[in-house]
Amino acid sequence: MSAMKSLRFAIYLRGTPQQVRTVLSDPALMPSWWAGTQLHWDAEKDPQRLSCEWLQTDHLDANGGSASVVRLEFVAMGQVTRLTVIHRDLVSDGSFFKVVAAGWPMILSSLKSLIETGKPLEFRNSG
DSSP state of 66: S
For residue 100, tell me if it sits in a domain: yes
For residue 123, tell me if it sits in a domain: no
For residue 126, tell me if it sits in a domain: no
pLDDT tens, position by position, 40-56: 566 566 778 888 888 77
For residue 10, tell me if it sits in a domain: yes
For residue 34, tell me if it sits in a domain: yes
For residue 52, tell me if it sits in a domain: yes
For residue 87, tell me if it sits in a domain: yes
Q: Which residue has the higher pLDDT, 106 or 37?
A: 106
pLDDT tens, position by position, 61-104: 888 888 888 889 999 999 999 999 999 999 988 888 988 899 89
Q: Which domain holds residue 31?
A: 4-117
CA 86, CA 68: separation in Å to the nearest integer?
10
Domain count within the chain: 1
For residue 54, tell me if it sits in a domain: yes
β-strand 49-56 against 37-41: which pairing, if any? antiparallel
Find the CATH number of the domain harbouring 36.
3.30.530.20
pTM of the model: 0.83
Alpha carbons within 13 angstroms on the beta-carbon side of residue 53 total 7
